[in-house]
Amino acid sequence: MTLMHKHTLKTAQLIAAGVAAMLALSGCSAGGSIQPEAGAKQVKGGTVSYGHQQEPACVFGGWIEQAYLSYQVLDNLVSLDDNHTIVPWLAETWQASDDQLTWTFTLKEGVSFTDGTPVNAEAIAYNFDYWAAGGNSTAAVWLGGYYESAEALDELTVQVNLAKPYPLFAENLTQAYFGIQSKQALETRTEEENCASPIGSGAFTVGEWNRGENIELLRNDDYTSPPANARHDGAAYVEKVDWKFISDATTRVSALRAGEADAIYDVPAIEWAGIGEQGYDQLKYVTPGRPQQISFNTARGIFTDENLRKAFVYSLDRESIVDTIGKGVIPYEGNGAVSRTTPGYSEKAADAYSFDLEKANQLLDAAGWTERDDDGYRVKDGKRLDVLFPYSGGTIINADGASILQGVQQQAKAAGFNVDLIPIPPSAAASGKYSGVDGYDISVGYWTSVNAGIQYINWRQNLPESPNNWNSAFYNDPQLEDIIVRANSAADLDEQNALYAEAQEYIADRALSVGLYDRLSTLAVNPHLKDVWQESAQGGPVFHDAYFVE
């Protein structure tokens, strides 16, 4: 073989390898239909390989990624069904006193935690105190201002005492942040042990956790306490869930197509239609609560001026950006306070602002930002109209969201805003960089919730005697807080929704926060895996009812 031939062969091999790599990357496969044959029968056991986006620090905690995991392991007192009705889980019945200050839960009999200890009233009361003391950060903020104490009246009856009436109390308990853990485990095991493998009474237990790779969830063979909205009683059908962490969306989709994953979470908008055409089952849940929204720092900087906030909002054609990037999968959301799937949603607040560049320019001119520099950015008294806009890339904001934010940056430029868009890596976010009143001019993010009571968390005043770190606009207004508190305590549903809507419109009128898009929880599932569903409180995947067919 001549040198030239050798060279040509080597080049050809390289090209072939490159093409093969490209094909592998693009997920092309020579396989036929992925649909199971008609009449395919249920297979016993098996391992579900599930590709999830983010890996939390603990199985249990105050972040939704933790809630999705802990839902598999811990049972709640109550569950939320598809009709937004609260149904029994560990609690068979519950009742609020006439003044809504005392809630009594009666538990199922004979339920045990996986460490053998009983799920009794004492354990439930202990969990309430544990949450309120910060054992779960999100549970703590939900209970804050309302929870007073919990006591076991007898083996199976627990009473929770509230400081203020809260008719939505039981509904809030359907979120996985309120997953019940073994009292013995919380008392005797280290924080690290409970973080890595909390002991609950759920359908699965935590097996091995290979950090950076996967968590094995093992079937609890003695499971007796599924929620009333589960599709079957008893233990899970599958033996194991291999909960893999695949942060890159393209890799997740490729894993599904290659058959390495039976189900994946957070399907990119651009892949959604193709995945459906290929025959994969698709589940989409528009998360209620605070949508992906931008809130303005009202305590420092240019956005202390309401007109500048409004100018910024008018400069954006948010719907157009979201529709293009979201490919019809990600819904546009105009409301900054709550998303469209939240009870008590206000259309009026959602429609408060539409794209109007002329109006944006008028407001900026009126505020004295009349000059422009060579790059087209507005200048006043020698100072440029700079906007510091950090966002948590890859965690709070996924790839689609990052593209939407670039659209915001570009459109605001036309009005003369110089938006400094800074993706914050998880390490910097964890260290608190770009947080606090000096950390940003605009913040972006969501907060899932089952109801509009989330406004209490996001807008309650941040006062020295009652700090609220979750008020990202740093907006302290007793009038707004009063509307929300009255809504939370309103016994009549119509009155409650009207007050929640009033709060949303109050927020929109002052341009404190505006919506961008609704946060989604999407799943794509191989049709050989049946009965994976999304729970209704937060949209997490449920594998207790899942089974394979062959």
**Contact with another protein (CB under 8 A) among 261, 321, 364, 450:** 321
User: Could you say whether residue 394 binds another protein (CB under 8 A)?
Assistant: yes
Q: Are 404 and 325 in contact (CB under 8 A)?
A: yes
Q: For the CB of residue 254, give the shortest distance to another protein in the complex, in Å.
A: 8
Cα 334 to Cα 291: distance, rounded to the nearest angstrom: 9
Give the binding range for another protein (CB under 8 A) out of 186-194, 242-250, 301-309, 365-373. Answer: 242-250
- DSSP secondary structure of 425-493: PHHHHHTTTT-STTS-SEEEEEEE-SSTTHHHHHHS--BTTB--TT-TT----HHHHHHHHHHHH-SSH
Three-class DSSP labels, 240-306:
EEEEEECCCHHHHHHHHHCCCCCEEECCCHHHHHHHHHCCCEEEEEECCEEEEEEEECCCCCHHHCH
Q: How far is the CB of 330 from another protein (least distance, A)?
A: 12
**Cβ 294 to another protein, closest distance in Å?**
17
Min CB(209)–another protein separation in Å: 23
Residue of the chain from 425, 436, 467, 478 that contacts another protein (CB under 8 A): 425
Q: Which is nearer to another protein, 163 or 273 (CB)?
A: 273
- Candidates 55, 262, 266, 271: give the one binding another protein (CB under 8 A): 271
Interface with another protein, residue 36, by CB under 8 A? no
Q: Report in angstroms the alpha-carbon separations of 450 from 120, 265, 338.
A: 26, 20, 10
Is 55 a binder of another protein (CB under 8 A)? Answer: no
Tokens of 145: 């201002």
Residue type, 433: K
- Token pair belonging to 262: 């039976």
- Phi and psi at 531, nearest 5°, equal 60, 35
Window of 321-329, 340-348, 350-358, 447-455 that interacts with another protein by CB under 8 A: 321-329
423 is a contact residue toward another protein (CB under 8 A): yes
- Please give the C-alpha separations between residue 183 and each of 72, 122, 406, in angstroms, as whole numbers: 18, 8, 47
Give the nearer residue to another protein in terms of CB position, either 104 or 250. Answer: 250
Of 245, 139, 261, nearest to 528 (Cα)?
261
422: contact with another protein by CB under 8 A: yes
Helix (H) or strand (E) holding 47: strand 47-52
Instruction: Using the minimum distance from each CB to another protein, give the nearer residue, 323 or 371.
Output: 323
CA atoms of 321 and 179, how far apart (whole Å):
38
Span near another protein by CB under 8 A; candidates 184-192, 308-316, 318-326, 340-348: 318-326
Binding test (CB under 8 A) with another protein, winner from 34, 218, 299, 399: 399
Q: Smallest distance from the beta carbon of 270 to another protein, in angstroms?
A: 5
Residue 392 to residue 415: CA distance in whole angstroms: 25
**Max CA separation in the chain (angstroms):** 95
Q: How far apart are the first and last CA of the chain?
A: 51
Question: Does residue 29 touch another protein according to CB under 8 A?
Answer: no
Asked if 435 is part of the footprint of another protein (rule: CB under 8 A), the reply reads: no
Q: Which two tokens mark 34?
A: 């992925």
Please identify which residue in 95, 320, 466, 469 interacts with another protein, judged by CB under 8 A. 320
The answer to whether residue 278 forms part of the interface with another protein (CB under 8 A) is no
- Compare residues 410 and 469 and give the one whose CB is closer to another protein: 410
Binds another protein (CB under 8 A): choice among 56, 118, 393, 541: 393
* Residue 409 touches another protein, criterion: CB under 8 A: yes
Kindly indicate which of the ranges 25-33, 87-95, 182-190, 455-463 contains the residues binding another protein, using the contact rule CB under 8 A.
25-33
Among 25, 163, 258, 491, binds another protein (CB under 8 A): 25
Q: Which residues bind another protein (CB under 8 A)?
A: 22, 25-27, 248-250, 253-254, 268, 270-271, 274, 320-321, 323-325, 393-394, 399-400, 402-403, 406-407, 409-411, 413, 421-423, 425, 427-428
